[in-house]
Structure 1
């Protein structure tokens, strides 16, 4: 394998390890190494990462959640308005199972 190809493979492998292991703390080091590698495609990728570094770091650090999809599939409704799906709630509002939300709304 050529030097550039091996470098690209190593960078892709280490990024995949960050992604699957939730090691977002390593992102800055990875970006620096990727930019120094001199590979145009990977350098372009790092530019995209740095354009919203906080969000990318969170995505590589925090456990995943399906959010509104999970609420819909579990029958959750917004506790403030049982007529609307949980996906219409703001992030600061809680969502409860339908029966519990009805009880809360009736009180």
Structure 2
């Protein structure tokens, strides 16, 4: 993440905190509908922080792809290799994304509660 992205994230977090505090004050001293509105609005900057981190990850991935292409790899081959490197386990691929292998880092452990 570059400096401007970090600054934006800090601004988003500060805005979210301010809106959450306004929500608390409105809940205590104002109408309930306004408190709910401010609470919902305080979530929006958090979504923006997540978006900024996703953009940073995509930028990093693109720079890696360009570096691979400059080393002499074919561009299409570099894209396929990057996708396969980020691929999940074999069971996930063969089950159309419904299951993960036990050793997969993306697999969610199944809970014992009834679904």
Instruction: Give TM-score, length-normalised by structure 2.
Output: 0.30
Q: Which structure features the higher share of helix residues?
A: 2
Q: Which structure features the higher share of strand residues?
A: 1
